[in-house]
Amino acid sequence: MKQAPWKLVCVDCGTQYPGLDVRYRCDCGGTLDVAHDLDALKGCLDTSTFDLRLASRNPADRSGVWRFRELVLPLGPEEVMTRGEGNTNLYRSERVQNYAGLRSFRLKHEGENPTASFKDRGMTVGVTVAKKLGMDRVACASTGNTAASMASYAAMAGMKAFVFIPKGKVALGKLSQALAYGARTLQIAGDFDDAMNLVQEVCDREGIYLLNSVNPFRIEGQKAIAFELLQDLDWEPPDWIIMPGGNLGNSSAVTKGLAELRELGLIDRLPRVAVVQAKGANPLYRAFVTGRDLDPLDGAETIATAIRIGNPVSWKKSLRGIRQTHGCVTQVTDQEIMDAKAVVDAAGIGAEPASCATVAGARRLAAEGVIGPDETVCGVLTGHILKDPGAVVGYHQGSLDGIEGTFANRPIDVENDLGAILEAIR
Ligand SMILES: *Cc1c(COP(=O)(O)O)cnc(C)c1O
Ligand SMILES: [Zn+2]
């Protein structure tokens, strides 16, 4: 195989490995970064390269990931396995801004990706690399969205997909997608962290390609959230970017992408990145406030199933990025998440529970004075409202355990009768 122009570098000890290799960790156990030759790009890459591609009809240029391919993976447009991911809207809602207590708060809706979560941005790169490596079987552990995304991209690439999910803990929309796209779906009697341990072992033994976010190429694709957001803003950085944190691949990706844009001089300052965790699944929050290494949490619990993770793989990369941007980590309760979700939903935007931790966290950070009311803030909504219909209906019907339907819009039962209906309307 021809040598790749990028390298894999250990986050812990700095050991370098060839760029194209079936490898997820350093021999020392540390996670790996994809390191690009940024010096070679300095001076010959500017934002107009990316802006011009917005008018192109080439599928790689139209993808909100591969449009930035020099900074993602420098492959030819014909080599990539794309579904036109990204190109998501950046919304602004008075209602959400008032709720958060911020005057400029925009929401990048990553639920508008092909399989309805940001995971597609990483998966298009992961599956493209799997193909380049000649792999025909891929696997992941998932709280649902990674499984949905991998199942779709693997099907399109003609690969066999194996997903490991915690039985009974995956939202209905996500489980439906994994089954429908034809993935072999293993429901494990355990939680996500158990599934994650098992899938790594199985992939090592069976020579199946692992597509969790421990795979460094997933991270490279997810950086494009930052690239596209900056492009949406005409390359004018906001003061803050806020996102939820579970396995912490996404915050690792966004901060890495921002740092690379800054190093190349494509933006003139780094936005601060805030990561929001659910109180019942908050190992990063605890590491951040204590200044210690991450202490894995047994039995993580939150209604936001996408971030119900106690032992996040990418915590070191994530903390490194948060510190580099002078950002922070906060935590919110399930009640705060579901109330924020009701506000996002009622604004007509809508997103799944984990996504709305972003808005609940923004409100908390504004109330605490960490974010000033006039700072410019962009939040990432990570998944689509229909991923978790159970949470929506439960909230509005008041049937969720321990959650108050603060902003509930209860369905009204009426007789099959015009008079009764008119009365209910008036
Ligand atoms: C995966 C996911 C997250 C968490 O992202 P990490 O990279 O694991 O921190 C948050 N929200 C949704 C909807 C997700 O699918
Ligand atoms: Zn190492």
**Domain locations in the chain as residue ranges:** 1-35, 90-116+218-397
In this structure, the residue with its CA closest to atom 8 of ligand 1 is 247
In a mutational test of the pocket of ligand 1, which residue from 113, 145, 220, 385 has the highest number of ligand atoms less than 8 Å from its CB?
145
Model confidence pLDDT, tens digit, residues 193-238? 999 999 999 999 999 999 999 999 999 999 999 999 999 999 999 9
Is the pTM of the predicted complex or chain greater than 0.85?
Answer: yes
Under the banding of pLDDT at 50, 70 and 90, the label for residue 3 is: confident
Model confidence pLDDT, tens digit, residues 355-378? 999 999 999 999 999 999 999 999
Model confidence pLDDT, tens digit, residues 319-347? 999 999 999 999 999 999 999 999 999 99
Under the banding of pLDDT at 50, 70 and 90, the label for residue 2 is: low
Q: What is the DSSP string of 233-281?
A: TTT---SEEEEE-SSSHHHHHHHHHHHHHHHTTSSSSPPEEEEEEEGGG
Model confidence pLDDT, tens digit, residues 244-255? 999 999 999 999
- Sign (positive/negative) of CA torsion 346, 348, 349, 351? positive
| Ligand 1 atom at minimal distance to the Cα of residue 145 | 15
The mean pLDDT value for 287-298 works out to: 97
Please give the mean pLDDT across all residues of the chain: 97
Residue 9, phi-psi category: left (phi > 0), alpha (psi -120 to 50), beta (remainder): beta
Is the pLDDT confidence value at 1 over 70?
no
3-class DSSP state of 127:
helix
Indicate whether residue 352 lines ligand 1 (CB < 6 A): yes
CATH architecture of the domain with residue range 90-116+218-397: 3-Layer(aba) Sandwich (3.40)
Residue 43: what pLDDT? Answer: 87
The mean pLDDT value for 4-8 works out to: 95
